[in-house]
Amino acid sequence: MSEYRPMARTFAHLSDEAIVALVARSDEEALAELYDRFGRVAYGLALRVLRDDKLAEDAVQEGFLTAWRNADRFMPERAKASTWILTLVHRRAVDLVRREDRRRAEPLAEGVEPAPTASVEDDAWLRFERERVQAALRQLPDQQREALELAYYGGFSQSELAERLGQPVGTIKSRMFTGLARLRELLAEPGNGETAWKPTPSTT
């Protein structure tokens, strides 16, 4: 027996999709890696939907455990791994918020300072992504943006939205579709592309 614990395998060179393939083979280290890549975004999303840290933790936990149980159903030709795991967490968060009926659509009152353990790189990248997606959202017509935000962050179903906004369900459907399709286009535009991000050395 070795007196050393085996070195943690480095997953850095593996794609997100390859990590999920390893999760499908019940590889715990791969699950940890999946969490390290997406846990923070997933938690931020769950917190936005649920507005309660304990419930948000539950949603993240349930989402990742669903991934653990069902990773062999993940189809890389159908979805990016990031989309897949965030969908699992989002679905769980929406289930919980509907059950708790604690829905509200306003953004959180105040931003929470990242804990000191967050790496500078992570912070920079997440800030970049946030600004990129927010910029795309700002370019949508108000009614479309409202429909997307109330549905995705608020957890409202299309029929609840129709009632809340006093519009026919068909109108809500079409706002969601047009808004999401337009968002997809905006995010694909080179000016909004991920390649625009370059890690910059900290100067302070």
Partner 1 sequence: MEANALHDLTAAYALDALDVDDAREYEAHLSHCDRCRDELASLSEAAGALAYATEAPMPPPELRARILQQARRERPNVVPLRPRWAVPVAAAAAVAACAAIALGIWAVSLSSKLDRRDAALAREQRVAAILAQPGSRTIPFARGTLVVGKAGDAALVVQHLERAPTGRTYEAWISAGGPPRRAGLFNGGQNSAVPLKGSVQSGASVLVTVEKAGGVDAPTQKPILSVQS
Taking CB under 8 A as the criterion, which residues in 78-117 touch partner 1? Answer: 78-80, 82-83, 86-87, 90-91, 94, 108, 111-115, 117
- Is 162 one of the binding residues for partner 1 (CB under 8 A)? no
Per-residue contact string for residues 23-52; x = within reach of partner 1 by CB under 8 A: -xxxxxx-xx--xx--xxxxxxx-xx----
User: Min. distance of Cβ 187 from partner 1 in angstroms?
Assistant: 6
Question: With respect to partner 1, which residue has the nearer C-beta, 99 or 199?
Answer: 99
How far from 137 is each of 66, 86, 179, CA to CA, in Å? 30, 19, 9
How far from 34 is each of 21, 66, 87, CA to CA, in Å? 11, 13, 14
Where does the chain have alpha helices with state H?
16-24, 28-50, 53-70, 81-100, 120-138, 142-152, 158-165, 169-188
Per-residue contact string for residues 132-151; x = within reach of partner 1 by CB under 8 A: xxx-xx----------x--x
Binds partner 1 by CB under 8 A, chosen from 52, 61, 102, 167: 61
Q: How many residues bind partner 1 (CB under 8 A)?
A: 88
User: Min. distance of Cβ 59 from partner 1 in angstroms?
Assistant: 11
User: Min. distance of Cβ 31 from partner 1 in angstroms?
Assistant: 5
Question: Exposed (0-12), middle (13-18) or buried (19+): which is 6, by Cβ within 10 Å?
Answer: exposed
Query: What span, in angstroms and rounded, lies between the C-alpha atoms of 164 and 12?
Result: 46
- Is 22 one of the binding residues for partner 1 (CB under 8 A)? yes
Hey, which residues between 168 and 197 contact partner 1 (CB under 8 A)?
A: 173, 176-177, 179-181, 183-184, 187
Going by C-alpha positions, the residue among 13, 57, 59, 19 that lies closest to residue 36 is: 19
Question: With respect to partner 1, which residue has the nearer C-beta, 36 or 199?
Answer: 36
User: Min. distance of Cβ 200 from partner 1 in angstroms?
Assistant: 19
Query: What span, in angstroms and rounded, lies between the C-alpha atoms of 202 and 52?
Result: 33
Query: What span, in angstroms and rounded, lies between the C-alpha atoms of 204 and 202?
Result: 6
Query: What span, in angstroms and rounded, lies between the C-alpha atoms of 156 and 176?
Result: 12
Question: With respect to partner 1, which residue has the nearer C-beta, 115 or 202?
Answer: 115
